[in-house]
Amino acid sequence: MVALIAGLVLVGGGIGVFALTRDDSTETASVASTSTETSTNEESMEKKESNIVTLAVATPDLSTLVSAVTAADLVGTLNGAGPFTVFAPTNAAFAALPAGTLDSLLLPENKATLSGILTYHVVAGKVMSKDLSNGQVVKTVNGGNLTVEIAGGKVMLVDAKGGKSTVVSADVDASNGVVHVIDTVLLP
């Protein structure tokens, strides 16, 4: 839920831009999507059939996430039927972790810890940005909770340690769910 990747073009067909609307005293998030025209119907069909893993692999700024998902042996799960909602940290989000943290998490002996962190970024079901509201608590696949915070035109997730991550690209549709690109790694 933050604006770090202004030029990121995801294979899902477009980038979402957050706008806030007020319904009495409750703020909710809504998204206006822009679509990229494709040159052929075949290309368009391929995009619609891309699953979450295929979208991530095709997005250069999510290459660290792809490496982590592979190391945690979660590729098969995220290739599954779903639906899943994935809050996908950018390469810069992983780079911002304390020195040596990512390298340590990628070691085979830390697979369970890495898997726990990654599944903290996944919600069962397809949760679009319009489904989020200020103060909403979202249960993750690993059993932890994330709190939605909407303020100042931004949608953020607050993790169990109080860390905040902003959505930089929302509602990237996949055949087995949706991806929201975020600027910080969430910690359970």
Residues making up the chain, counted from first to last: 188
DSSP H or E stretch at residue 20: strand 14-23
Is residue 162 included in any domain, yes or no?
yes
Q: Is the pLDDT of residue 3 over 60?
A: no
Measured distance between the N- and C-terminal CA atoms of the chain, rounded to whole angstroms: 18
Residue with tokens 């070691």: 107
What pLDDT score does 38 carry?
27
Domain with 79 in it: 14-182
Residue 151 lies in a domain: yes
Torsion of CA 118, 168, 91, 67, to 10 degrees: 40
Question: What does the pLDDT read at residue 26?
Answer: 41
What total number of domains does the chain contain?
1
Q: Is residue 5 part of a domain?
A: no
CATH number, domain containing residue 79 = 2.30.180.10
Summarised one tens digit per residue, pLDDT across range 80-129 is 999 999 999 999 999 999 999 999 999 999 999 999 999 999 999 999 99
CA distance 130 to 108: 38
Burial of 35 (0-12, 13-18, 19+ CB in 10 A): exposed
In a domain, 1, yes or no: no
Residue 155: name the closest of 177, 132, 172 by CA: 132
C-alpha 142/C-alpha 188 separation (Å) is: 9
7 found inside a domain: no
Say how many C-beta atoms besides its own lie within 10 A of residue 90's C-beta. Answer: 25
| Kind and range of the H or E run holding 65 | helix 63-71
Predicted TM-score (pTM) of the model is: 0.76
